């Protein structure tokens, strides 16, 4: 069977801080009357890590000859034809796909939080490294993210501020605008602010240590969400966040590629492609596309029906496809995510 560009069924996750922009701005069919904070576009988790049970929690193919198959099944069936020489993550349950790709809609501020680095994860069974990046799709006027501690803030001063609810005075607030990419390596204290819609690329970990949650309570329980102050204090880098990475641009007659972010685990580029152009895709490694604008068609030898991508769609392009051809039906923009060779 020929491999082809794979669209998956999104996994919608309700969050106390979620909203409805995933539907109104990206066209996703959300459950009614639910505060949906996340749309998991591409994911693969071992049994028990996200959901109870003995099955993998893994993206399900939405269309074409492989519809209904999970990403994990495809990794086992196709191996390097799907993932090329990109190393998979080794888990006790088997190899795991090395990225998690999402959209996030923050109607309210997310909790102030941190994710562990490799050293912490190695010393604490059950914790997993998490490095991520946010691409700003849309934001309300004046919306901000929180990113890193201010210069001179020490662990002791930070802990004291947690005790008297003044901790946000010690965190850098950054006003955002569409098109920005913010890199958040593990150990960076951060929170996505209210009124922001982002595309998120991250290592596949759900280990999050909440250190402050704006004194909110869960509607279902009437109690505050659990905090993880001790764990967070062990993980936070008490130094200013890294400055934005410089962008690199490569332009041709019909396309522009801008590098937004690069690290050991992934690289994110923004690609613009002109309407009416038809080109053979040059990849020999897997690539993820997140469509930001326009409409394009991807055709592959041996597969009768082309894959159509529109704003809000995400596709995994396998490493081995027969003569893949891109046709731009309109001016297109997408995020192109390639895989690093970081520690697994």
Q: Which of these is catalytic: 7, 107, 210, 272? A: 210
210 is catalytic: yes
DSSP state of 243: P
Beta strands in 82-164 (DSSP E): 89-91, 94-96, 100-106, 112-114, 132-139, 144-149
Residue 314 vs residues 94, 287, 311: alpha-carbon distances, Å: 25, 11, 9
Measured distance CA(174)–CA(148) in Å, rounded: 10
CB contact burial 204-242 (16+ within 10 A = b; e otherwise): bbebebbbbbeeeeeeeeeeeeebbeebbbbbbbbeebe
| Residue 115 near residue 205 (C-beta atoms within 8 A) | yes
Measured distance CA(97)–CA(283) in Å, rounded: 19
- The position carrying tokens 């801080």 is 17
* Joined tokens for residue 2: 């020929």
Measured distance CA(299)–CA(5) in Å, rounded: 8
Backbone angles phi, psi at 233, to 5 degrees: -65, -25
Active site residues: 210
């Amino acid at each position: 069977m020929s491999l082809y560009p794979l669209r998956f069924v999104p996994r919608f996750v309700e969050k106390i801080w979620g909203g409805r922009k995933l539907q109104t701005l990206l066209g996703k069919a959300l459950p009614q009357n639910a505060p949906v904070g996340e749309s998991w576009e591409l994911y693969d988790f071992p049994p028990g890590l996200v959901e109870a049970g003995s099955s993998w929690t893994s993206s399900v193919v939405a269309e074409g000859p492989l519809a209904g198959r999970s990403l994990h099944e495809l990794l086992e069936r196709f191996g390097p034809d799907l993932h090329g020489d990109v190393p998979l993550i080794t888990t006790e349950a088997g190899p795991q796909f090395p990225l998690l790709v999402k959209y996030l809609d923050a109607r309210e501020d997310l909790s102030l939080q941190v994710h562990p680095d490799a050293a912490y994860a190695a010393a604490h069974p059950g914790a997993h490294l998490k490095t991520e990046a946010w691409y700003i799709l849309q934001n309300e006027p004046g919306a901000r993210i929180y990113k890193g501690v201010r210069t001179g803030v020490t662990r002791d001063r930070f802990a004291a501020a947690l005790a008297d609810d003044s901790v946000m005075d010690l965190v850098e607030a950054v006003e955002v605008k569409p098109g920005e990419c913010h890199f958040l390596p593990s150990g960076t204290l951060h929170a996505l602010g209210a009124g922001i819609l982002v595309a998120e690329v991250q290592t596949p970990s759900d280990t999050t240590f909440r250190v402050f949650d704006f004194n909110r309570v869960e509607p279902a329980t009437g109690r505050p969400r659990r905090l993880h102050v001790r764990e967070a204090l062990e993980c936070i880098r008490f130094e200013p966040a890294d400055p934005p990475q410089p962008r690199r641009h490569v332009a041709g007659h019909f396309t522009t590629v801008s590098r937004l972010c690069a690290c050991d685990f992934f690289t994110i580029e923004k690609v613009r492609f002109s309407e009416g152009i038809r080109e053979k895709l040059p990849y020999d490694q897997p690539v993820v596309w997140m469509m930001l604008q326009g409409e394009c068609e991807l055709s592959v030898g041996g597969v009768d029906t082309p894959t159509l991508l529109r704003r809000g769609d995400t596709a995994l392009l396998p490493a081995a496809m027969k003569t893949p051809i891109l046709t731009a039906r309109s001016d297109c923009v997408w995020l192109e995510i390639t895989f690093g060779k970081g520690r697994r």
